[in-house]
């Protein structure tokens, strides 16, 4: 008896403890209630117009989701009844949880051995909208806890209002008011039963029931909603049948935005507390033209696996943004249309090269007539493979003028110029120009910075090229017709002469003919400076150029990172750039560019960069600084330094030069031959230069019996002096041949170059 009584007391205590714990847990939400003000949607709709007060569209929030917030009494009662019937018919009769629905769902799951129906209430769905939780037990408990807190701080009408203002309605449309405006151009208060029942059908699965993609599915779901409304006593079967046959036309989600969607969403994030309508700098007719041309150009490139593009048009005089296209179709979610190619960070290819040359000219590290070496070049980088830049054509042009190197976008000369400047100095220069996303260390980018090893945006490129178009006077880009620019960067880069010189080079169609031809899409019937760029593996193509009035920047590539099929800048982004800039000037040609001030033009030899001599076969005009005129008058001899030897040795035709050059062997070479191989191995004597008469070869003072520019000589031990003569021109080098002390495993000889102190077997030999 006592044992039974004691057991009863223990059970009672246990039950009481459980009840107390449940009570405490249930009361806890009231110590952390969520009120309407805590989840208030404060962002109001923003209306935008272009520079001519033409409407561009309405952004319902400042992010990329269309949302409009209205009180419950401004929503059609038909929609309220439809959404309650579809989602939670007893919403006003239970708390955060619907225990009857939970029990019913558990019994159905046991009978069918699978989940047949859910038991989520509108309050629980709102909790899920506010905080995304995982679809597991932990996530469900979190959802319940948040639902209790909502009930603790809000009444039923407040919860329902918060819910219907957040309902997913297909695409990026959220809330019944936003859906009404977008799909039907009416307020939510004017929804009829057919429209309301269709809207109530969408949130269950907004992708599966998308009204613009899956109309038949949506109609089936509407039938379910109407049947639920019949069961709840809201409508009769006759009304339901009539409603199902009523024709309802959904407008495209584009309806709320007329033009420049990427621009509007970007601008909305930059503004604060502006009142609608907001006047922008966009020119609506131009914007729509650029949007159409973007789609047309991409249509011609689909076979090359090209799907995306972006474009930006700037007024050089004011810095105003006239057109802004972030993708071919903002509303095509399947093709990542919401990605903004104007603000996205991508590798810029060669589009940064003009700024390398401008800085080097400004610092007088190079002159306009400087000759740069476009020859095989290798850089040892600690912890990495040997860096050996090459050009797009995989060919080398040898000695080239600055004008030719920049206009034809040669890689090796650009790297050599950057080496003179120093990566830290150039990186600082780029940041002053507005490339704020180049925020890594100089070591991170290395010498590849001039070839596009960093990541920049089309917006940043356009900003920098506007500075070039304004002859070094920097200005932020402006997006609204106010006196307050969007960006606050006001760095001033004032040396106008160097900018004028770079502009002169980029507008020289003859200078770029080697790489682009004389009749490419870059050549227009009026003065225009332009630069293309292609990133590694053909992932990005760029074209940025300007007239005296406008700067146009274009990008073509793939948002998903897939490489295009052999599409360079001149093939990808340039056609779009060409169409836009021709359209801008179809009624009035731009003014000529300002010639480089304070410089003088003098004739030079195209190869040497010096005053033409009698044997110069190509004479061109180039700019000079006045202080360089004395040196110009006195210097005519041009001797290629040793860095050209490897390139010269591979030339198949004579290289125009005022001097002969023995390119094989090199001066100071030491050749090792092995015992038994004497008089069996040949060494090539190779000569380049402009021979006016026959060639004479002399070896240790004895003339060889040949007049060829190339011959083979049997190796013999000794110290040798090799001389080549042609008329008044001659060249002389020394080399040695020694017997090796160790016999090789295969027949041949080695070359020991006294300059690099290493053994090489790169020279050709024959048996």
Tokens describing residue 55: 């409407």
Do 353 and 410 belong together in one domain? yes
Within-domain flag for 338: yes
pLDDT value at position 112?
57
pLDDT tens per residue across span 481-505: 874 444 444 455 567 999 999 999 9
| CATH number of the domain where residue 171 is located | 1.10.3810.10
Q: Which of 25-29, 171-175, 552-556, 572-576 has the highest mean pLDDT?
A: 552-556
Alpha carbons 264 and 623: distance in angstroms, whole number: 45
What percent of the chain stands above pLDDT 90? 46
pLDDT tens per residue across span 464-485: 999 999 999 999 999 998 744 4
More confident residue, 434 or 41: 434
Helix (H) or strand (E) holding 546: strand 540-546
Mean pLDDT value of segment 230-249 = 94
Residues 664, 686 contacting (CB under 8 angstroms):
yes
In a 3-state reduction of DSSP, which class is residue 545?
strand
The closest alpha carbon to 534, from 555, 512, 514, belongs to 555
- Report DSSP state, residue 401: E
Mean pLDDT value of segment 647-661 = 61
Within-domain flag for 161: yes
Query: Alpha carbon of 221 to those of 160, 202, 214, 395, 474: distances in Å?
Result: 21, 8, 11, 65, 58
Instruction: Identify the domain boundary among 541, 570, 597.
Output: 597
Do 565 and 652 belong together in one domain? no
Answer yes or no: is pLDDT of 162 > 50: yes
Do 477 and 623 belong together in one domain? no
Residues 549, 317 contacting (CB under 8 angstroms):
yes
Helix (H) or strand (E) holding 739: strand 729-739
pLDDT value at position 31?
78
Report the mean per-residue pLDDT for the chain: 83
Number of structural domains found in the chain:
5
pLDDT value at position 310?
97
| CATH number of the domain where residue 688 is located | 2.60.40.10
- Report DSSP state, residue 246: S
Within-domain flag for 260: no
Within-domain flag for 116: yes
More confident residue, 513 or 10: 513
Query: Alpha carbon of 410 to those of 400, 565, 650: distances in Å?
Result: 9, 22, 19
More confident residue, 272 or 510: 510
Instruction: Identify the domain boundary among 587, 617, 634.
Output: 634
Do 294 and 426 belong together in one domain? yes
Do 351 and 453 belong together in one domain? yes
Do 619 and 697 belong together in one domain? no
Answer yes or no: is pLDDT of 96 > 70: yes
Within-domain flag for 765: no
Mean pLDDT value of segment 195-221 = 93
pLDDT value at position 751?
39
Query: Alpha carbon of 664 to those of 172, 240, 395, 625: distances in Å?
Result: 69, 95, 21, 38
**Angle, CA 430 vertex, CA 429 and CA 433 arms, to 5°:** 95
Do 687 and 627 belong together in one domain? no
Within-domain flag for 429: yes
- Least reliable range by pLDDT among 50-54, 152-156, 387-391: 387-391
Do 16 and 47 belong together in one domain? no
pLDDT tens per residue across span 378-403: 776 665 566 677 766 667 888 999 99
Residue 739: pLDDT band (50, 70, 90) is confident
Within-domain flag for 382: yes
Q: Which domain holds residue 629?
A: 600-634
Mean pLDDT value of segment 411-421 = 94
Do 588 and 698 belong together in one domain? no
pLDDT tens per residue across span 260-314: 999 998 998 888 766 667 899 999 999 999 999 999 999 999 888 999 999 999 9
| CATH number of the domain where residue 399 is located | 3.40.710.10
Alpha carbons 320 and 478: distance in angstroms, whole number: 5
Answer yes or no: is pLDDT of 623 > 90: yes
pLDDT value at position 626?
93
Do 94 and 138 belong together in one domain? yes
- Least reliable range by pLDDT among 225-229, 232-236, 248-252: 248-252
Do 96 and 18 belong together in one domain? no
pLDDT tens per residue across span 346-379: 999 999 999 999 999 999 999 999 999 998 887 7
Within-domain flag for 756: yes
Mean pLDDT value of segment 6-17 = 71
pLDDT value at position 759?
28
Mean pLDDT value of segment 761-765 = 29
pLDDT tens per residue across span 665-721: 877 777 777 776 666 677 878 877 655 567 888 899 888 877 676 788 888 888 999
Residues 436, 488 contacting (CB under 8 angstroms):
no
Do 219 and 357 belong together in one domain? no
The torsion region of residue 757 among left (phi > 0), alpha (psi -120 to 50) and beta comes to left
CB atoms within 10 A of CB 537: 11
């Amino acid at each position: 008896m006592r044992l039974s009584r004691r057991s009863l007391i223990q059970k009672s205590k246990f039950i009481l403890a459980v009840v107390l714990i449940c009570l405490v847990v249930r009361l806890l939400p009231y110590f952390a209630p969520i009120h309407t003000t805590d989840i208030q949607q404060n962002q109001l709709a923003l209306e935008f117009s272009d520079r001519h007060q033409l409407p561009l569209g309405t952004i319902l929030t400042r992010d990329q989701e269309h949302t409009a917030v209205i009180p419950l009494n401004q929503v059609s009662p038909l929609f309220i009844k439809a959404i309650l019937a579809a989602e939670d018919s007893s919403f006003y009769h239970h708390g955060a949880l619907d225990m009857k629905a939970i029990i019913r769902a558990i019994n159905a799951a046991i009978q069918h051995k699978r989940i047949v129906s859910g038991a989520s209430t509108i309050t629980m769905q709102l909790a899920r909208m506010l905080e995304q939780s995982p679809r597991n037990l932990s996530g469900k408990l979190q959802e319940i806890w948040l639902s209790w807190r909502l009930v603790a701080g809000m009444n039923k009408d407040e919860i329902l209002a918060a819910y219907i203002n957040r309902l997913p309605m297909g695409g990026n449309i959220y809330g019944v008011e936003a859906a009404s405006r977008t799909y039907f151009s009416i307020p939510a208060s004017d929804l009829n039963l057919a429209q309301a029942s269709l809207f109530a059908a969408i949130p269950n699965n907004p992708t599966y029931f998308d009204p613009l993609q899956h109309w038949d599915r949506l109609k089936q779901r509407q039938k379910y909603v109407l049947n639920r409304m019949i069961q709840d006593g809201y409508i009769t079967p006759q009304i339901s049948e009539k409603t199902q046959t009523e024709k309802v036309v959904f407008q495209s989600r584009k309806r709320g935005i007329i033009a420049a969607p990427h621009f509007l969403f970007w601008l909305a994030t930059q503004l604060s507390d502006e009142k609608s309508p907001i006047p922008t700098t966009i020119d609506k007719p131009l914007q729509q033209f650029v949007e159409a041309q973007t789609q047309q150009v991409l249509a011609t490139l689909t076979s090359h696996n090209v799907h995306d593009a972006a474009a930006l048009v700037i007024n050089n005089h004011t810095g105003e943004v006239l057109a802004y296209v972030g993708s071919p179709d903002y509303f095509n979610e399947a093709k990542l249309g919401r990605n903004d190619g104007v603000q996205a960070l991508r590798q810029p290819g060669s589009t940064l090269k003009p700024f390398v040359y401008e800085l080097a000219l400004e610092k007088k590290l190079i002159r306009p007539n400087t000759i740069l070496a476009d020859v095989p070049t290798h850089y040892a980088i600690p912890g990495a493979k040997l860096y050996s830049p090459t050009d797009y054509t995989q060919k080398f042009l040898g000695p080239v003028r600055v004008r030719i190197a920049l206009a034809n976008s040669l890689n090796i000369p650009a790297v050599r110029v950057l080496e003179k400047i120093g990566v830290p100095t150039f990186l600082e220069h780029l940041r002053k120009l507005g490339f704020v996303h180049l925020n890594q260390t100089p070591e991170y980018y290395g010498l590849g910075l001039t070839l596009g090893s960093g990541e920049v945006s089309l917006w940043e490129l356009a900003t920098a090229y506007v500075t070039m178009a304004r002859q070094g006077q920097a200005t932020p880009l402006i997006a609204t017709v106010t006196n307050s620019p969007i960006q606050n960067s006001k760095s001033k880069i004032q040396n106008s002469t160097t900018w004028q010189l770079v502009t002169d080079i980029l507008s020289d169609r003859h200078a770029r003919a080697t790489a682009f031809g004389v009749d490419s899409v870059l050549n227009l019937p009026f003065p225009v400076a332009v630069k293309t760029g292609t990133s590694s593996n053909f992932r990005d193509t760029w074209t940025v150029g300007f007239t005296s009035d406008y700067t146009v920047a274009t990008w073509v590539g793939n948002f998903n990172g897939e490489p295009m099929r052999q599409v360079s800048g001149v093939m990808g982004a340039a056609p779009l750039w060409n169409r836009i800039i021709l359209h801008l000037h179809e009624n009035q040609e731009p003014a000529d560019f300002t010639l480089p001030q304070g410089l003088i033009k003098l004739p030079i030899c195209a190869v040497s960069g010096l005053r033409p001599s009698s044997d110069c076969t190509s004479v061109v005009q180039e700019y000079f600084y006045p202080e360089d005129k004395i040196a110009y008058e006195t210097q005519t001899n041009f001797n290629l330094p040793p860095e050209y030897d490897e390139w010269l040795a591979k030339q198949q035709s004579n290289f125009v030069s005022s001097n002969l050059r023995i390119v094989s062997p090199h001066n100071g070479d030491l050749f090792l031959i092995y015992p038994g191989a004497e008089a069996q191995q040949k060494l090539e004597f190779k000569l380049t230069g402009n021979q006016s008469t026959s060639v004479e070869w002399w070896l240790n003072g004895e003339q060889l019996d040949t007049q060829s520019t190339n011959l083979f000589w049997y190796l013999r031990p000794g110290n040798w002096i090799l001389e080549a003569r042609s008329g008044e021109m001659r060249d002389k080098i020394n080399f040695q041949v020694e017997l090796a002390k160790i016999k090789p495993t295969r027949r041949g000889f080695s070359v020991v170059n006294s300059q690099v102190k290493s053994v090489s077997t790169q020279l050709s030999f024959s048996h």
